[in-house]
Structure 1
């Protein structure tokens, strides 16, 4: 039997407060498909954090959130620019290309971040009918490499994209972890920084399931409800997704969960760095630790622990902490590393 998993924050349980919110929402009958007071209350919470101008659509999962938001931004003859390691490119089974019918134009990135120069390299065939036409840029906050864009970096990208007629999408599966790292509000690195469309994550931060599509661009908002339905992401008993977000965004539960996960990742990284055979391959800026160690030690650890071997050639592993990771879990893993 494996010990506490470091493979993904998807492996964690449900935060007790979220579980309680689900139970409370289970009382009686309410209108279906989001016409209920739980959904209305949750949307109001989003408006408190992101501003009155945002439109919110709840979906089942992260892929659904990304595809729903992106489909409102691009048509099938158009393209989305992203890094080669972006979740929409490497971990969603080709959903964006398969469901939207568009093309992904990728940019190599060692740290998971996209830059304006990376975007610019795909802007040399505008108007050429034989080439997919770039229409959107997608960035991840936090990135798939655990790194975090600064607010200035996001603003630079959004300004460049908008100046070139491109929409900006943000995959915010771990947006709360980024806010905890930067010490900023959710709005400061999204709507205030020029983001048009956001996929806001809940599952990785204590929810049972559920993500939210948050649209800041009114030109794009009107089509989302139809895209969500056609994409099989409209929940009939939506109150159970909405109630979770209502509780998550009440007070600072979202921030407490993310901040704790980040601190456990830093504790884990500090312990690994005490070993001369181990080095970090990325700075620790969220709840993910990327490290390299001798292959033999990786194989021994995998007998008792669950984590990802990120790059076999470089002997690079990824360790992810969660809201329910404890100091004892970290110490237990570090003890086995030394053993």
Structure 2
């Protein structure tokens, strides 16, 4: 079988996508003349009000450069150095942030085993016994990713249970929402039902993976928790001097629900990809994608050939799992070309 040309899209990460045209237009518009720095501008004020309207609550918002920085800022406002964050062992703040949350908060990160990528009350419960004992770091924050690193979604009921447990024990619930748009689009509800009503305390509201060039927002559902956020953001190097260019991108994505349309398209392309590759001999898709990540089991001796043709990341070598990501820029032709290439390369091995 002839090998098709490499698809234009990258299936390695949704970070590989460019920016939405609407975002580019918003940046050009925001570039018309001077504006006060550090968020004292009309764009930042407008985007903050738009987020308050979206959440239906008087949330506090601080804009940051990127996802790791936003997580650092959000967590640092909730913690003192003798306290700890409990999260799953696959969490981004454990695996992919080079220890930044621990370094900048001075607090411990306590990883526990995940169940389908999720944090469970059963995993957290033993640490409740540490509360009040001076020899142990004091559990203060439960942190989850929505969408999880395993591509799964927390239901509103699951988040509500975690929030209730956290609050019962004087803890907070933090959500790393780098892909919150994909989660909301997949849930069939809204962000109020998925985040506000369950009782989430602080959310990293992702922009970059969903059409922005850079920038994320830390959203404080309990405004009093943001009392020190701006000082922490500055110390962490996450205060953009020209904040208007982050805020303008946020406004562009929120306008006419572009953030949800982008996410819905990415999710749909993942569903199509899973459907097509599941038909290829030698490929197994253990779980249908909940959002925009397809996890597939492949013949491991063909990994290098597949990556050389169109690069993607291996996920779990022990399980022969790879991860294929789609984005708002992925086209149906990209998906069909990629699936055709996988089929052709595996056929060379007789898989």
Match of 1:167 among 172, 178, 194: 172
Aligned match of 1:236: 241
Tell me, in whole angstroms, the C-alpha distance in 2 between the residues paired with 1:281 and 1:60.
35
Q: Deviations over 1:170-219 (max 9, x none)?
A: 00000000011111111211121100000000000000000000001133
Q: Unmatched 5+ residue regions in structure 1?
A: none
Aligned match of 2:43: 38
Q: Does 1:63 align with 2:68?
A: yes
Aligned match of 1:103: 108
Contact conserved, 2:139 with 2:171, CA < 8 A, in 1?
A: yes
Match of 2:139 among 116, 122, 134: 134
The alignment partner of 2:290 has SS state of: coil
Contact conserved, 1:32 with 1:237, CA < 8 A, in 2?
A: yes
Equivalent residues, number: 339
Contact conserved, 2:80 with 2:106, CA < 8 A, in 1?
A: yes
Aligned match of 2:263: 258
Contact conserved, 1:2 with 1:306, CA < 8 A, in 2?
A: no
CA RMSD of aligned residues (A): 1.2
Residues 273-282 or 303-312, more deviating: 273-282
Tell me, in whole angstroms, the C-alpha distance in 2 between the residues paired with 1:212 and 1:199.
6
Match of 1:198 among 188, 203, 206: 203
Summarize the alignment of residues 208-287 of structure 1 with structure 2, pairs less than 5 Å apart.
208-287=213-292
Contact conserved, 1:111 with 1:282, CA < 8 A, in 2?
A: no
Return the structure number with greater helix share: 2
Match of 1:176 among 172, 177, 181: 181
Q: Deviations over 1:118-145 (max 9, x none)?
A: 1112222211111101001001100001
Contact conserved, 1:261 with 1:321, CA < 8 A, in 2?
A: yes
Q: Deviations over 1:8-42 (max 9, x none)?
A: 11111111110110011010011111111011111
Contact conserved, 1:57 with 1:213, CA < 8 A, in 2?
A: yes
Residues 145-154 or 121-130, more deviating: 121-130
Q: Does 1:88 align with 2:93?
A: yes
Aligned match of 2:348: none
Tell me, in whole angstroms, the C-alpha distance in 1 between the residues paired with 2:302 and 2:267.
25
Distance 1:283 1:120, change over 3 A: farther
Match of 2:309 among 297, 304, 307: 304
The alignment partner of 2:148 has SS state of: coil
Tell me, in whole angstroms, the C-alpha distance in 1 between the residues paired with 2:115 and 2:86.
16
Q: Unmatched 5+ residue regions in structure 2?
A: 345-351
Question: Normalising by structure 2, what TM-score?
Answer: 0.94
